[in-house]
Amino acid sequence: KGISYPEKAVLTSAKEHDRGQLEIMVDDKECMYVFDRGYLDYDRFDRMTDDGYFFLSRLRKNAVIREVYDFKLPEDTTVLSDQMVLIGTTQNRTENYFRLLKVIDSKGNELQLLTNRFDLCAEEISEMYKSRWAIELFFKWIKQHLNIKKFYSQSEWAIRNQVFIALIVFCLHVLVQLETKSKRKTLQISRYLRAALWKSAHIWLRKIEGKAIP
């Protein structure tokens, strides 16, 4: 169904850069880790490749690229180019060869995508990066519907509790969605719950499942 949900969460202070959490979060060699430009780190990409982890990242426009080989693209593809490359200057260049794809996003902007996967077709890799949008939608949903905009206390533990309670609420919505095989969106499920908060649970469940209330 394409339902997305958080598997792991790490809370850090505003001063700490997200890149510092990669060593903690990247721990499964069967996963494909998809990053935005904020996580760009050539040395880490080399280490991930050497250690057997797969990644896909957006590359900055001003990145220094040395083209090594052009892969042939099918005629019906939306991908602009597919190449084997080395990234960086002679002073700071990646040790491994990577794959660079140029694609157009939904707004017409050209994106450069870097990965160490050579076994997938270009369209599959492009679709993987598009799926990253689910992360943006997740944070948007959290901010709009789970009262994270305002903290009820300034202590570290109070803030942690409020954030984790919000994550638990979101995950419970997803579990209900999966268990009932509902086509309703999480926002609809949340609204049905609020409307039926003091009523019998079967009324809420039938609403979620799209069945008439007897």
Taking residue 69's Cβ as centre, other Cβ atoms within 10 Å add up to 10
Q: Specify whether the CB–CB gap between 56 and 32 falls below 8 A.
A: yes
Sheet with strand 110-115: strands edge to edge: 32-35, 54-59, 110-115, 98-104, 81-87, 65-70
pLDDT per residue over 22-65, tens digit each?
777 778 888 898 887 777 788 888 999 999 999 999 998 888 99
Taking residue 160's Cβ as centre, other Cβ atoms within 10 Å add up to 11
45 class by beta-carbon count within 10 Å (0-12 exposed, 13-18 middle, 19+ buried): buried
User: CA-CA distance, 173 to 192, in Å (whole number)?
Assistant: 11
pLDDT per residue over 133-178, tens digit each?
777 777 777 777 666 666 777 788 888 888 888 888 888 888 888 8
pLDDT per residue over 177-210, tens digit each?
888 887 787 777 877 777 777 778 777 777 787 7
pTM of the model: 0.73
What type of residue sits at position 87? I
